[in-house]
Chain A
């Protein structure tokens, strides 16, 4: 049978934890041997001294800002972590629980201190992981914020661009309309003059009136093209898409184009596959596009050259039909090929000395081709000629 032990103070003195008691002014009134031994002090060195002297500088602040206010207001604290410092300067981690009450008429704060070693290592790892996570989190938050700002900026820029584009389209449409009215007046009155309505005209005057009328027609053509482009860009053009046998279109074009070819002494060739494809397109607009390409080819090909209209069915792209207009003109420098589709761009060369045209035809043609679900592209080689390629969705795909 175990021996009964009643000497509690002695047990407290040797208990496997530190014990210290102090007043509101932090003066130590009791301290057990376990704590004295661990911290390397004699009892006389601590009695009457401030309990803060047992702590590191950081823990002294913590004592004054947390431990003491808490124990004073609540009457107790539980499981506070504090760093103590031995007389020799070694830091020891302690968990501290304390109660405050009146003993012998004076406030006393009794405090037990459990040394934490293994736990501290575990907590160190936990804290390190927590800090890494916090840092990563902060980084992510910063990145998210930046992305959000970029997105907002992009949205603002897009909206701004859309506004600017709409304004441009509206401006072009309005201006074109305003210009056409006086031009029509010029044309009309020139015709009346030419017809002798206002009196007889001599041969010089007829020649001058002819020049006025040519100039008027050219300006009108330019303005109509601008208006068309504005309409296409603002999405106001409507497409009537039908199933269209390409054979029909090729026949129509030949009738319209052959006189001009012959007049300029060009050879016109048509190359067709055995099975002519059927495409999905707006008949009128497809004819407009192809006529534009053929007119350009005629314009930029010297007499004696050749122009080929070719319909190609590529087995690897069975859902698409290709119509090519190839000429044997001087061609376009490779780095300028894409530029010819920009509005108002003409590739200047000795060959295009006439400078006829608006510089809008290809821009409009590409937009029309794209509006029909296809595209208009070009390849070219200086000195050998250019090929413009219209692709269109095929509906008879094999």
Chain B
């Protein structure tokens, strides 16, 4: 079973520490998105990367449309990986939708988790006055339309740069494999599970302390969403980053690393 999960979710373990840091990718990409951040923690932690079933290098044949029709199914992937490696005191780092997936997993088995680090989290993307999620339903429908349109020319989209980078030798052989590739049907279902989700009711039950990394000018998870989460999560800390956008771990990795490190190892107060 555990071996199957490790293959199924394309689990990669590295690092020289003992406490596990489990990095969970967001919608649209795979574990490669952590390559600018995760190595910084390998000295002190046991770094665990994985792909959700249906994404990246996971075993797509394990995809079950029913299980993955809601974020609970993805949360089960997180717990499956934790059980397969028998991880304890997990520092869970989730980007975007994985923040909510981590919360669902932590609510089911809180004893496994030490900290939750939530990058660009949102419990609900669609406005529900007075709650501000940032989007109207038609915006989300527009996203699905755009995905469908891009999947018409899927072959182009899937592997945009494979073997096409002779001018970037530093990326080396790794480019033979396609990053962020996913089956269009699975991607579409993941998008629906993500952007139609409403996890506001799951927040109050979170017992694990959490860090919210809120970017400046994040169009996907705007500031009011971060503030809402900070107010609702029982043991949360929010840091507003100078990084802009929705992917600070890719656009501003140094700041992201610094804030996570700071949260995990608070400076001792000088006398």
Chain A residues within 8 Å of B, Cβ to Cβ: 24-27, 50, 52, 56-62, 64-66, 68-70, 72-83, 101, 123, 126-127, 130-131
A344: shortest Cβ distance to chain B, in Å?
51
Residues in A whose Cβ lies below 8 Å from that of B17: none
Greatest chain A CB density within 10 A among B32, B161, B167, B175 is at B161
- For B180, list chain A residues within 8 Å (CB): 66, 69-70, 73
Point out residues on B near A: beta carbons under 8 Å. 26-29, 32-33, 35, 96, 135-136, 139-143, 145-150, 152-153, 156-157, 160-161, 164-165, 167-168, 171, 175, 179-180, 195, 217, 219-220, 243-247, 250-252
- Find out whether the CB atom of B156 lies under 8 angstroms from the CB atom of A78: yes
A80→B28 CA distance, assembly (Å): 14
Which chain A residues lie closer than 8 Å to B146 at the CB level?
Answer: 58-59, 62, 81-83
Contact A72 B168 (CB under 8 A): no
Please determine whether B179 and A73 come into contact, CB atoms closer than 8 angstroms.
yes
Cα of A346 to Cα of B228 in the assembled complex, Å: 81
Q: How far is the CA of A52 from the CA of B222 in the complex (A)?
A: 14
Q: How far is the CA of A337 from the CA of B127 in the complex (A)?
A: 72
Closest chain A CB from B140 CB (angstroms) = 7
Q: Which residues of A contact B195 (CB under 8 A)?
A: 61
Contact A64 B33, CB 8 Å, known A57-B135, A58-B142, A70-B179: no
- Contact across chains for B139 and A57 when beta carbons are under 8 A apart: yes
Question: Known: A57-B135, A74-B161, A82-B146. Is A68-B247 also a contact (CB below 8 A)?
Answer: yes
- Bound-state CA distance A61–B147 (Å) is 11
- Interface on chain A toward B: helix, strand, loop, or mixed SS? helix
Q: Are A78 and B160 in contact (CB under 8 A)?
A: yes
Q: A74-B179, A79-B156, A127-B149 are in contact. Are A57 and B245 (CB under 8 A)?
A: no
| Cross-chain contact B164 with A52 (CB below 8 angstroms) | no
Given A62-B143, A69-B250, 13 extra CB contacts under 8 A? A25-B244, A52-B219, A58-B145, A64-B219, A66-B28, A66-B150, A72-B251, A75-B168, A76-B160, A77-B157, A77-B161, A80-B157, A81-B150
CB of A66, distance to nearest CB on chain B (Å): 5
- Which residue in B26, B164, B244 is a CB contact (below 8 Å) of A26? B244
Nearest CB in chain B: distance from A157 CB, A: 28
Q: How far is the CA of A130 from the CA of B152 in the complex (A)?
A: 10
Chain B proximity of A101: nearest CB distance (Å): 8
Do B243 and A77 touch (CB < 8 A)? no
Tell me if A75 and B171 are in contact (CB < 8 A).
yes
User: Bound complex: CA of A74 vs CA of B145, how far in Å?
Assistant: 24
Using Cβ atoms and an 8 Å threshold, which residues of chain A touch B32? Answer: 73
Determine whether the beta carbon of A58 is less than 8 Å from that of B139.
yes
Of A50, A65, A79, A126, the contact of B26 (CB 8 Å cutoff): A65
- Looking across the interface, which residue of chain B has its beta carbon closest to that of A23? B251
Contacts of B250 in A (CB 8 A): 24, 68-69, 72-73
Pick the contact of B143: A52, A58, A77 (CB < 8 A).
A58
Closest 9 pairs (CB-CB, A-B): A58-B142, A65-B28, A74-B161, A57-B139, A64-B246, A58-B143, A24-B251, A73-B179, A60-B219
Kindly state the separation between the CA atoms of A116 and B215 in the bound complex, as whole angstroms.
33
The reply to whether A70 and B160 contact each other, CB–CB distance below 8 Å, is yes
Sample 24 A-B pairs with CB under 8 A, ordered by A number: A50-B245, A52-B245, A56-B139, A61-B195, A62-B146, A64-B220, A64-B247, A65-B29, A65-B246, A68-B251, A69-B179, A69-B250, A73-B35, A74-B179, A75-B165, A76-B161, A76-B165, A77-B161, A78-B160, A80-B150, A82-B146, A83-B146, A123-B152, A127-B149
Nearest chain A residue, comparing its CB with the CB of B35: A73
Q: Determine the chain A residues whose CB is within 8 A of the CB of B252 once the complex forms.
A: 24-25
CB-CB under 8 A from A57, the residues of chain B are: 135-136, 139, 142, 219
* CB closest residue in chain A, given B33: A69
In the bound complex, what is the Cα–Cα distance between A76 and B247 (angstroms)?
A: 17
| Alpha-carbon gap, A362 to B29, bound state (A) | 77
Interface centre among A26, A81, A82, A130, by most chain B C-beta atoms within 10 angstroms, is A81
Q: Which residues of A contact B246 (CB under 8 A)?
A: 64-65
Contacts of B156 in A (CB 8 A): 78-79
A127 nearest CB neighbor, chain B only: B148
